[in-house]
């Protein structure tokens, strides 16, 4: 929902230059309409198949974003007790929450059981034993799915690939039947599902389809062995277009490609999208501080940095960077860098960008996912505010931190 009108960049019906002047920079800005449209694309594409769309909270955990999705009927995929607290504060139905993650603590399991979440996606036999013991203490019998590792290469960045045998996630699919058999003795658990997630930012559908076929075969085999398998959790991972020339899978077409397989299984299907719901719905606004040359090398120094958006430094990730106000000037080739004292503090390198001057604003695109959630106070920089745009109005959903916030909780 970001487009130009008379040379000015808008988010929905809000001019971003005006917003930047009032709110300041750097600042994250999200389009409510885009978030809801992406969520509904998943929800509506399943048609007659029983399903749950559980938004992956790790992608963007802002309360207002979670509340927006909760009111639209979304469930939530969490990976920590803190994320559970957030979704409950946002008004989520705990019966629509699935708890994933490889390192759940006893306190987190206790909190999830007390809250009455829908299901645990368990990643080891030790975890099953823990959940069983704590469920016995509370006199409840939660459902669980073993997260199986199908040994499928997601063809994505190695840091966000999770489906190979070398990764810490899940249990090898060949070992899963034995795990389920041994879990029969855990009388306080109900083996009602199978779970899988092979990675993030997946642009080719073939790895997902391969993983789905493997997991469907496992679910059928477990059903034949007498397990009450009713749920199939396919995880998330659908990619988005970060490059202007990149093409991402279309959400509805992706679900349609799975429709026949899933309908035939007669299982309730859960998906856990995150990036594909919020990624394209957000930008990072930043202001140009300086233009600088070192020999032939040109730099555009801005007030956003790696502590605000770490993806370019961490993953060498590409984000399009566009001017908030277009001018008829020839473009330049430059590094777009921030104020942090690290050579790794960059938003783009050797990039063709607009010929901007100090005081101009830039928009770092597709920053709605893994943007603010990965931000930090490195170099004692207060974290940026977050702004949610709805039509012609906007509201600050997280205020800019102050210097006082930086030392809150500390003592001399």
**Residue 264 maps to which CATH number?**
3.20.20.10
Query: Any binding-site annotation on 272?
Result: yes
Same domain, 119 and 227: yes
The rounded distance, in Å, linking the Cα atoms of 163 and 206 is: 14
Give tens-digit pLDDT for 214-271. Answer: 999 999 999 999 999 999 999 988 899 999 888 888 999 999 989 888 999 999 999 9
Tell me if 355 is assigned to some domain: yes
- Shared domain for 128 and 239, answered yes or no, is yes
Check whether residue 376 and residue 395 sit in a common domain.
Answer: yes
Domain with residue 347: its CATH number is: 2.40.37.10
pLDDT for 377: 98
CB 316 within 8 A of CB 306: no
Indicate whether 205 and 110 sit together in one domain.
Answer: yes
80 within a domain of the structure (yes/no): no
Same domain, 291 and 142: no
Cα 325 from Cα 356, distance rounded (Å): 9
Phi, psi (rounded to 5 degrees) for 166: -80, -5
Query: Residue 311: inside a domain, yes or no?
Result: yes
Q: Are residues 254 and 332 in the same domain?
A: no
Residue 182 assigned as binding residue: no
CA distance 147 to 272: 13
Q: What is the mean pLDDT of the chain?
A: 94
Report whether 250 belongs to an annotated binding site.
Answer: no
pLDDT digits (tens, 9 = 90+) for 91-139: 999 999 999 999 999 999 999 999 999 999 999 999 999 999 999 999 9
Task: List b or e across 331-347, with b for residues whose CB sees 16 or more CB atoms inside 10 angstroms.
Answer: eeebbbbbbbeeeebbb
CA pair distance 156, 240, nearest whole angstrom: 12
To the question of whether residue 342 is assigned a binding role by annotation, the answer is yes
- Kindly indicate the confidence band of residue 154, based on its pLDDT and cuts at 50, 70 and 90: low
Q: Which of 59, 104, 112, 56 is nearest to 84 (CA)?
A: 112
Q: Is 338 annotated as a binding residue?
A: no
Task: Tell which of 271, 297, 315 closes a domain.
Answer: 271
Share of the chain above pLDDT 90, in %: 86
Neighbours of 31 (CB within 10 A): 26
Active site residue 122: no
Q: Which of 228, 251, 271 is the last residue of a domain?
A: 271
User: How is residue 267 annotated by DSSP?
Assistant: P
Does 311 show up as a binding residue in the annotation? Answer: yes
Does any domain span residue 62? Answer: no
For residue 235, the enclosing domain spans: 101-271
Question: In this predicted structure, what is the pLDDT of residue 153?
Answer: 62
- 205 & 328 share domain: no
Same domain, 257 and 108: yes
Cα–Cα distance list, 314 to 169, 250, 359, 363 (Å): 21, 27, 28, 20
SS3 12: coil
CB 379 within 8 A of CB 307: yes
Residue 213, in any domain of the structure: yes
Q: Which one of 250, 271, 292 terminates a domain?
A: 271
CA nearest 319: which of 329, 308, 330? 308
Does 145 fall in a domain?
A: yes
Q: How many domains does the chain have?
A: 2
The reply to whether 79 falls in a domain is no
Give pLDDT, residue 208. Answer: 86
Q: Quick one: 284 and 377 in the same domain?
A: yes
Instruction: Output the pLDDT for position 166.
Output: 55
User: 89 lies in a domain?
Assistant: no
| Model pLDDT for residues 204-217, shown as the tens digit of each residue | 888 888 889 999 99
**Are residues 357 and 389 located together in one domain of the fold?**
yes
List residues bridging with 143 in a β-sheet. Answer: 119, 190
From 122, 196, 341, 365, the catalytic residue: 341
| Residues 190 and 285 grouped into a single domain | no
**pLDDT beyond 70 at 163:** no
Question: Are 156 and 16 in the same domain?
Answer: no
């Amino acid at each position: 929902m970001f487009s130009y009108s008379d040379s000015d960049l808008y988010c929905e019906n809000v001019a971003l230059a005006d917003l930047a002047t009032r709110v300041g920079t750097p600042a994250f800005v999200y389009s409510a309409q885009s978030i809801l449209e992406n969520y509904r694309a998943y929800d509506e594409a399943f048609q007659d198949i029983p399903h749950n769309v559980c938004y992956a909270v790790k992608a963007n955990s802002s309360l207002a974003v979670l509340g927006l999705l909760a009111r639209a009927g979304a469930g939530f995929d969490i990976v920590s007790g803190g994320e559970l607290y957030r979704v409950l504060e946002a008004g989520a139905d705990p019966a629509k929450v699935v708890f994933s993650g490889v390192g759940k603590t006893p306190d987190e399991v206790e909190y999830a059981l007390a809250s009455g979440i829908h299901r645990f996606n368990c990643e080891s036999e030790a975890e099953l034993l823990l959940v069983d013991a704590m469920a016995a203490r509370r006199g409840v019998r939660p459902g669980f799915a073993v997260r199986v590792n199908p040994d499928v290469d997601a063809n994505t960045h190695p840091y966000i690939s999770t489906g190979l045998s070398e990764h810490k996630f899940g249990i090898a699919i060949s070992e899963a039947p034995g795990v389920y058999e041994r879990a029969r003795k855990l009388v306080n658990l109900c083996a009602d599902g199978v779970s899988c997630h092979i990675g993030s930012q997946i642009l080719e559908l073939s790895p997902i389809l391969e993983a789905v076929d493997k997991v469907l075969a496992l679910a059928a085999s477990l059903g034949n062995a007498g397990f009450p398998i009713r749920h199939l959790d396919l995880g998330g991972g659908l990619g988005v277009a970060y490059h202007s020339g990149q093409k991402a899978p279309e959400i509805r077409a992706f679900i349609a490609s799975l429709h026949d397989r899933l309908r035939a299984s007669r299982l309730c299907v859960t998906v856990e999208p995150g990036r594909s719901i919020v990624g394209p719905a957000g930008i990072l606004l930043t202001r140009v501080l300086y233009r600088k040359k070192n020999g032939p090398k040109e730099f555009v120094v801005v007030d956003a940095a790696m502590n605000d958006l770490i993806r370019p430094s961490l993953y060498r990730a590409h984000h399009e960077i566009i001017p908030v106000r277009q001018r008829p000037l020839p473009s330049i080739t430059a590094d777009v860098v921030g104020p942090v004292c690290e050579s790794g503090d960059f938003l783009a390198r050797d990039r063709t960008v607009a010929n901007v001057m100090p005081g101009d604003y830039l928009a770092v695109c597709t920053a709605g996912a893994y943007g603010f959630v990965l931000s930090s106070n490195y170099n004692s920089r207060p974290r940026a505010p977050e702004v949610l745009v709805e039509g012609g109005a906007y509201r600050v959903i997280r205020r800019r931190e102050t210097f006082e916030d930086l030392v809150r909780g500390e003592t001399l």
